Chains A and B, each alone.
Chain A
Amino acid sequence: MYAVLSKKRIAPDTYDIWLSHPDIYRYAKPGQFLIIRIDEFGERIPLTIASAEKDRVRVIVKAVGKSTYKLCAMNEGESVSDIVGPLGNPSEIEKLGTVCVVGGGVGIAPLFPVARALKAAGNEVIGILGAANKDHLIMVDEFRPFLDRLYLSTDDGSAGIKGTVTNPLKEVIADYSPVTIWAIGPMVMMKFVSLLASQNDIPCWVSLNPIMVDGTGMCGACRAEVGGEMKFACVHGPEFDGRLVNWDELIKRQYQYREEERVALEKYVRELGEKDG
């Protein structure tokens, strides 16, 4: 059992959660993820490790389906049954020069350890953080010490530049010629950042978070076409050069369980209602 040590709401439906874990901190590197199973009935939820310290590990979770709602509803002192991690390959962090990190929505969280490590490796790091509106822009102050420049964007213009992250990214590419881009966020965002990177011939790492089951390379649920080959995000990734990803196919795969997810969430909400009533 792994206890919830603390939980803080940092944006609508988005929580910053520290969980106890005896040894993830010993091995976790930026870019890696873990899998949580809340209880006997739970599914396996892959989440990127936001940070790891002695005996504890941090995840940022947005409640979108039943399992993430359940996780976000847990309180300090409650426990989850299983945590497996770290999983996946670490980001390839090295001194490259000027790099740009682009985070969108809850994808800002997994970008954080990458940005911090890139800065520690001696890079000039330009950050672009985007969200639907200013309430959803998370972790901005945490990023500041590790960024040489910071751009914010929101879809509604309530903070930073109005529109998507590709607007400031175009500027950054024109003004600072970053040698590599990291982009983590919704698949559609990663698709358009990758397209821009491709047009400008810049390598662009994206972190794929497709539907997963075991997370150990056993089932192939998380497969994606990358560079014309079948890759498993869990063991060959999760980071890939976004310029090589077949995004349209992957985005369609992401919707496969939409109906089942709706059924599960509705049942959960109904049960909650009955419990409260």
Chain B
Amino acid sequence: MAEKFKVRMRELDPSERVNSFEEVALGYTKEEAIAEAKRCLQCKHKPCVSGCPVGIDIPGFIKALREDDIEKSTRILKDANNLPAICGRVCPQEKQCELACVVGKIPGSEPVAIGRLERFVADQNISLETAVKPSVNKRVAVIGAGPAGLTAAADLAKEGFSVTVFEAFHTAGGVLVYGIPEFRLPKEIVAKEVEFVKSLGVEFRFNQIIGRTIPFEEIKNEYDAVFIGIGAGAPRFMGIPGSNHNNIFSSSEYLTRTNLMKAYLFPLYDTPVKIKDRVAVIGAGNVTMDAARTVKRLGAKEVHVVYRRSEEEMPARIEEYHHAVEEGIIFHWLTLPVEYIGDINNNVTGMKCVKMTLGEPDDSGRRRPIQIEGSEFVMEVDMVIEAIGQTPNAILKAGFPAVRLNKWGSIDADEASGRVDEGIYAGGDIVTGSATVIEAMGAGKRSARAIKSYLLRKG
């Protein structure tokens, strides 16, 4: 009988990590990885694979690992997933492959730690070269170097297409570099996986905002096909009175300053970020946890997460929530801010909040939060980060006139292929709204497949 529980992954101690941006989860040693790999039952029907948005041959890579053939294991991973070291760290495996794992169905057993094994294998051979098919005389433009774009670009390059990625920032990775903090996903790992994509022959053009710095029409005319993976873009604000007071930030701003612009190293790096004593972070998703843990590391004395629903409806990964709790983040459930209060200089000094209760389920299937009358109170804070999601970027409408949008302002693309129009494909958050890294990668993969057959058909 196999071990009931996953081999534990070592972590930095909470007391140590709250002052540091070092990666929290330390990964397996080889012995630990092989021991964990041995828990896999090597099921013939592979239910775990159907739980993976990019369809990794999970039993296959685990088998190779078990046999200590790490190169083979890496090749199996990279065959389906161009960015496995990233996915091994940020995928919600508990809702995907590991949810389907047969071991996890045994009463009292945990599923195989597929994510941790993926991370271990990927880290060993991060720069492993991969063969590329003979070149095909077709050019593909990929707009956005985030998870969706990098995946589409790498898959198309492997097929021999000539691929150019246009990226708005000075570096590749999208949300992997501006959004997800260093302590959860070291930027060095992202850089190495991007190097792998480059090694396939993908060309990167940075500082290009298609629709602004180059018209979309020009890209469309110059390339045989275009993949749009520009992300969800614009921050959502609650829009309550006082939203423009000082020291109120979107999570996108706070995290972009800290991660992409490296404000956690200010003044070595020039971009500053605000650090205050009592900080409220609004929301309860993964980005909320990232923002809360970031501001705590930067030196906030108290960090309060404020969410209008209850712990049960929290969208964040349970692991991230636990990390946040361990690090001393304070949670306020069923609480909704309704107004910001400021001083004479417009610096925020507090939030007027109301308490909520849960009613009948709403469209999302979660119980609808309802205000409790007369429950108003003021929470004293000197900084607020709103982490309540994103909407499509304003450039989209003006800059991509040929692209059809749906009623949410996202790109209206075919679900299976990402097809928008002849030769135009889209995927990731710009189609689905805020989702996960791996879902965006899955979309990039499906579009790459569709683009390949479109271009070969077109001849």
Query: B39-47, B157-165, B251-259, B374-382: which one contacts chain A?
Result: B251-259
The docked-state distance in angstroms from the alpha carbon of A261 to that of B270 is: 9
The answer to whether B244 touches A253 (Cβ under 8 A) is: yes
Encode contact with A along B379-423: 1 for CB under 8 Å, 0 otherwise.
000000000000001110010000000000000000000000000
Nearest-Cβ distance from residue B398 to partner chain A, whole angstroms? 8
A213 neighbours in B (Cβ, 8 Å):
253, 256-257, 261, 271
Which secondary structure dominates chain A's binding surface?
mixed
The docked-state distance in angstroms from the alpha carbon of A267 to that of B246 is: 25
B169 neighbours in A (Cβ, 8 Å):
214
Nearest-Cβ distance from residue A264 to partner chain B, whole angstroms? 5
- How many interface residues does A have (CB within 8 Å)? 46
Given contacts A218-B233, A264-B270, contact A84 B168 (CB under 8 A): yes
Encode contact with A along B156-190: 1 for CB under 8 Å, 0 otherwise.
00000000000011100000001000000000000
The answer to whether A230 touches B270 (Cβ under 8 A) is: no
Most buried by B among A85, A216, A221, A232: A216
The docked-state distance in angstroms from the alpha carbon of A221 to that of B260 is: 15
Question: Is residue B346 contacting chain A, with contact meaning CB distance below 8 A?
Answer: yes
Residues 212 to 257 of chain B near chain A (Cβ within 8 Å): 212-215, 233-235, 237, 239, 243-244, 246-247, 249-250, 252-253, 256-257
The answer to whether B393 touches A235 (Cβ under 8 A) is: yes
Question: Is residue B450 contacting chain A, with contact meaning CB distance below 8 A?
Answer: no
Residues 71 to 100 of chain A near chain B (Cβ within 8 Å): 81-87, 89
The answer to whether A232 touches B209 (Cβ under 8 A) is: no
Given contacts A43-B261, A230-B243, contact A249 B346 (CB under 8 A): yes
Encode contact with B along A6-46: 1 for CB under 8 Å, 0 otherwise.
00000000000000000110010000000001000111100
The docked-state distance in angstroms from the alpha carbon of A235 to that of B395 is: 7
The docked-state distance in angstroms from the alpha carbon of A66 to that of B271 is: 10
The answer to whether A230 touches B168 (Cβ under 8 A) is: no
A220 neighbours in B (Cβ, 8 Å):
234-235, 237, 249-250, 252-253
The docked-state distance in angstroms from the alpha carbon of A267 to that of B393 is: 36
Residues 266 to 287 of chain B near chain A (Cβ within 8 Å): 266-272, 274
Question: Is residue A164 contacting chain B, with contact meaning CB distance below 8 A?
Answer: no
Question: Is residue B21 contacting chain A, with contact meaning CB distance below 8 A?
Answer: no
Question: Is residue B204 contacting chain A, with contact meaning CB distance below 8 A?
Answer: no
Given contacts A217-B393, A220-B235, A236-B394, contact A260 B246 (CB under 8 A): no
Given contacts A218-B234, A220-B250, contact A27 B214 (CB under 8 A): yes
The docked-state distance in angstroms from the alpha carbon of A224 to that of B346 is: 13
A217 neighbours in B (Cβ, 8 Å):
233-234, 393-395
Residue of B nearest to A223 (CB): B244
Question: Is residue A252 contacting chain B, with contact meaning CB distance below 8 A?
Answer: yes
The answer to whether A218 touches B256 (Cβ under 8 A) is: yes
The docked-state distance in angstroms from the alpha carbon of A43 to that of B212 is: 21
Nearest-Cβ distance from residue B297 to partner chain A, whole angstroms? 18
The answer to whether B237 touches A66 (Cβ under 8 A) is: no
Given contacts A43-B270, A43-B271, A257-B272, contact A82 B170 (CB under 8 A): yes
8 additional A-B residue pairs with CB within 8 Å, beyond A82-B170, A220-B237, A223-B243: A27-B213, A42-B270, A43-B271, A44-B271, A218-B233, A255-B246, A263-B267, A264-B266
Provide a sorted-by-A list of 13 A–B residue pairs whose CB atoms are within 8 angstroms. Answer: A66-B270, A82-B170, A82-B206, A85-B213, A86-B213, A216-B212, A216-B395, A218-B252, A219-B252, A221-B249, A260-B272, A261-B272, A264-B267
